[in-house]
Structure 1
Amino acid sequence: MRNIIYLIALLFISVGNSQQLAVLKYDGGGDWYSNPTAVPNLIAYCNDNLGTNLEEEVATVEASSVDIFQYPFIHMTGHGNVVFNTADIENIRNYLLSGGFLHIDDNYGMEPYLNKELIKLFPQKELVELPATHPIFNIYAKFPKGLPKIHEHEGKRPQAKGLFHEGRLVLLFTYESDLGDGWESPEVHNDPPEVRKKALDMGANIIKYVFTN
């Protein structure tokens, strides 16, 4: 019954005039607040290129807050430690099972901490690497090789991994790509325009996939 109520709330929000995205605030000491211009820039890009009607202002929502159910798409990033307590786990799990979507973008160094928390979130599920043929790489811009490499850290190949529930992708983890750095304003990292465009195009793919599937 509780999940049904949450689902109804998400559906109600989705038919409004505009939708707001949020950044997840979590415990553990990791810098959840990094890349402050990233999501606002992605929103502007999607509104201009996809015809979306996303609110310009990005919300911040805590992992255990009931407010999480107000947002159809939540972005999470950082460099370091991630800790979800029992209330966080239950809340995020209910959110995802009720129709919400969580995109986690490793800003470098998050992956080993995140993995142990995702096991708590869905003990019976595993992150699965998405093949380059998955629609998320082709729904707006075409990425025939899959997730693009935006920033080099350890020279590892970029990977997009997902958690599925009843065939629906509910969580996307982008690793060794650093999309968020590519979404940031040009002066932050001095990325060439073609690199920023790749990052923003991939971000637009994610947004379009989430809102049309």
Structure 2
Amino acid sequence: MKQRYAGKAMTVVTLGLVLIGLLPIHAWAQDASETAPAPDQTQPIQKVGPPSVKVLQIVESGTISRKYTSALPTLLGHVAEETSVHVERIQDVAASFEDERIFDYPFIYVNYADREKWEFSETERRNIRAYLERGGFIHIDAGISAAFLRNEKNAGQHHSFAEWEASPDVADAFKSIFPGRKFKPLGRSHKVFSCFYEGLPDTEKLPETVREFVINEKWPQGTYSFVGLTVKGRLAVLCSPIIAMGWGKNQLGNWETTIGFRIREGGKGLSENLETAAYGGKRFDTRREDGALDVVFCEQAATPAWVQEPNGVWRMFAYYRSTEISEFAHDFYTQLGVNIMIYALTH
């Protein structure tokens, strides 16, 4: 099994939600000789109505293998069981944004790797613009993928690395729809991080070797590196590093992946030694929350070895694995997934 690397007490906020629904299914003509009428693309995406919400996933036709096939159904089951939002536990699937059914769903999930090329057709550009302007929400998982992960699309499926910049092809694709607009980092106080779960899972379960870094640097206050595109003053498209790797369970109720932690570690004299060390790998720039750049060095493909930070400090990447770490990562990624969905359905 491939190892995945993830970039206080859990507070559950009770929601008094009005049930969120879907647009009515398009009415089809009774006469077989008639074609179906075009959907009305002027009405808002409905978030109040029928007794349950259905979610749509975009998976390009011809995709050799879908990524994390059990992830979204497991997350939807968690939402159904732990929140007051009634959601269907199995998502619907469409091959692209050309499908007019997108207007029937208030929330669309896309795994970056389930689409071969992030170039939108004219029909997709028209549909996406109308969908977002009417109130729809798109989550692009692994839509943030650090430079050292971009040479191999699957690398971004197994390494969740914090960077505050959308992948260039995703950014360009949406720029073709909304010229002049950019994905911007979401602040730590953004409601998407606290609209249902707030803070981290119980950190006392973590080994001491990783606990302080997780609390203070990795996922402070239960936040992560998200960037978003705003449409009509509303967060409408959210990109994240891969988090679906922490959602999926098998039929026995066990997590399908094992997740390890990548931790930055320093020490006396380390900066001086690394600065002058012989090096045969590649270097990559990664964007920090404040816009500054880290320089990440990789001797093996997609595996950071050390980093030069903007303040001149050098640190090494250490890799830790344990049952406690994996369980904690799964719990946290599930929290993030639930918060994203609840935010999308209530804003």
TM-score category (smaller protein): 0.7 to 0.9
Partner of 1:6: 41
Q: Which has the larger radius of gyration?
A: 2
After superposition, the Cα gap between the structure-2 partners of 1:78 and 1:165, relative to the gap in structure 1 and judged at 3 Å, is closer
Partner of 2:98: 64
Q: In the TM superposition, what is the alpha-carbon distance from 1:210 to its structure 2 partner?
A: 1.3
Runs of 4+ residues deviating >6 angstroms: 29-32, 144-147
After superposition, the Cα gap between the structure-2 partners of 1:47 and 1:64, relative to the gap in structure 1 and judged at 3 Å, is same
* Residue identity (%): 22
Mapped to 2, the partners of 1:122 and 1:147 lie a distance apart of: 32
Q: In the TM superposition, what is the alpha-carbon distance from 1:205 to its structure 2 partner?
A: 0.8
TM-score, normalised relative to structure 2: 0.52
User: Is 1:41 aligned to 2:175, yes or no?
Assistant: no
Mapped to 1, the partners of 2:85 and 2:218 lie a distance apart of: 22
State whether residues 68 and 245 of structure 2, in contact with CA within 8 Å, keep that contact through their aligned partners in structure 1: yes
Partner of 2:30: none
RMSD (Å), alpha carbons: 2.9
Post-superposition CA distance 1:2-30 (Å, at most 9, x none): xx94364732x631111100111348x87
Mapped to 1, the partners of 2:217 and 2:173 lie a distance apart of: 26
User: Is 1:16 aligned to 2:150, yes or no?
Assistant: no
TM-score, normalised relative to structure 1: 0.82
Partner of 2:284: none
User: Is 1:170 aligned to 2:226, yes or no?
Assistant: no
Partner of 2:134: 98
Q: In the TM superposition, what is the alpha-carbon distance from 1:37 to its structure 2 partner?
A: 1.0
Which of 247, 256, 266 is residue 183 of structure 1 equivalent to? 247
* SS across alignment from 1:198: helix
Mapped to 2, the partners of 1:146 and 1:49 lie a distance apart of: 28
Q: In the TM superposition, what is the alpha-carbon distance from 1:166 to its structure 2 partner?
A: 2.2
The code of the aligned residue for 1:97 comes to E
State whether residues 21 and 73 of structure 1, in contact with CA within 8 Å, keep that contact through their aligned partners in structure 2: yes
* SS across alignment from 2:84: coil
Mapped to 2, the partners of 1:101 and 1:32 lie a distance apart of: 25
Partner of 2:108: 74
Mapped to 2, the partners of 1:69 and 1:146 lie a distance apart of: 39
The code of the aligned residue for 1:164 comes to T
Mapped to 1, the partners of 2:178 and 2:111 lie a distance apart of: 19
Partner of 1:128: 184
State whether residues 22 and 71 of structure 1, in contact with CA within 8 Å, keep that contact through their aligned partners in structure 2: yes
Q: Greater CA deviation, 137-146 or 80-89?
A: 137-146
After superposition, the Cα gap between the structure-2 partners of 1:32 and 1:161, relative to the gap in structure 1 and judged at 3 Å, is farther
Mapped to 2, the partners of 1:124 and 1:147 lie a distance apart of: 31
The correspondence of residues 196-211 of structure 1 with structure 2, limited to 5 A, is: 196-211=330-345
Q: Greater CA deviation, 106-115 or 91-100?
A: 106-115
User: Is 1:139 aligned to 2:195, yes or no?
Assistant: yes
**Gaps (5+ residues) in structure 2?**
1-38, 154-166, 201-215, 260-325
After superposition, the Cα gap between the structure-2 partners of 1:141 and 1:7, relative to the gap in structure 1 and judged at 3 Å, is farther
Q: In the TM superposition, what is the alpha-carbon distance from 1:85 to its structure 2 partner?
A: 1.1
* SS across alignment from 2:123: helix
Q: In the TM superposition, what is the alpha-carbon distance from 1:113 to its structure 2 partner?
A: 2.4
* SS across alignment from 1:41: helix
Mapped to 2, the partners of 1:146 and 1:129 lie a distance apart of: 16
Post-superposition CA distance 1:136-172 (Å, at most 9, x none): 11111224879959xxxxxxxx520111122111110
The code of the aligned residue for 1:210 comes to A
**Gaps (5+ residues) in structure 1?**
150-157
Mapped to 2, the partners of 1:39 and 1:132 lie a distance apart of: 25
Q: How many residues align?
A: 199
